[in-house]
Homo-oligomer: A and B are copies of this chain.
Amino acid sequence: MTGALVLQTDFGTSDGAVSAMYGVALKVSPSVRIFDLTHDIPQYNLWEASYRLIQTIQYWPADTVFVSVVDPGVGSSRRSVAVRARTGQIVVTPDNGTLTHVKRMLGVAEARELRESGNRLEGSELSYTFHGRDVYAYTGARLAAGQIALADVGEEIDPASIVELPLVEAVREGDAIEGTIDVLDVRFGSLWSNVPFPLFAGLGVEYGRRVEVSIRNDTREVYRNTMVYAKSFADVHAGEPLVYINSVLNVAVAINQGSFARAYNIGTGLSWKLAIRKAPKIVYE
């Protein structure tokens, strides 16, 4: 058993909140090994919390326990849940959409409603606003340490009942693929679309050939141009745009050593659409 506990929040690390969660976990058992996914999820952004989980979860050992606390409804009647993905990892989280991608793309093998009684840090009864510390870190650590099993967390619930955010699938429309811009590669400003590699592959574009990319925000066209479909950034000049397959094997759009998102003020979410088609072959030297 690895005993790994991975924390994700929108708390930042500038105050003591995340550190208190670490302390609680370590107090549960010195055998727990605590790591971070990220604590920089934009506040209350459930979509991004869900995305960062799917981006990373499979790279961790199968018995890893994730705790994700992005929780606009702390104190509301939203349930707390602990689920086991089909790939083995456990996620403890408010049931508010955080599990959208894991449910859809990996599948949930087992789901439990986390009941607070018995799963709450002793002495924390007066605190109603920090379930991340008092309930989630505490329970995640007990799972990671093997002190309790998933079944001990609470009643089994139907995985189908887990809350999902609206999630649009990319589609082929004639000679084009249409999708949405899911998320940014934050530091580099690349656009990560929801177009999976196999769908794009159907266009029959070879490395080094050009594609036409258009980007719309609702009804407004924000960008339209052709660019190379490159295997990697080094295949284009610095400052040149490219289409590539990113590290989660979806289509992405970037400027080599620049920020595509900042260059064209591009955001993310369902209102940000991307269409991509084969461009007429041009000799490009």
A residues apposed to B, CB below 8 Å: 2-4, 6, 10-17, 19-20, 22-24, 26-27, 30, 34-40, 43-44, 52, 55-56, 59-61, 64, 72-78, 126-130, 133-134, 183-188, 197, 230-235, 238, 244-247, 249, 257
Contact = CB atoms under 8 A, between A and B. Distances in A.
Nearest to A184: B15
Give this chain's copy count: 3
Contacts of A61: 23, 26-27, 30
Judged by DSSP, the binding face of A is loop
B26 A38 contact: no
B6 A35 contact: no
A133 B59 contact: yes
Contacts of A6: 19, 23
Given A197-B126, A234-B76, A26 B55 contact: no
Contact of A246 (B11, B23, B129): B129
Contact of A232 (B22, B74, B197): B74
A78 B246 CA distance: 20
A264 to B, nearest CB: 18
Contact of A75 (B78, B129, B188, B231): B231
A14 B186 contact: yes
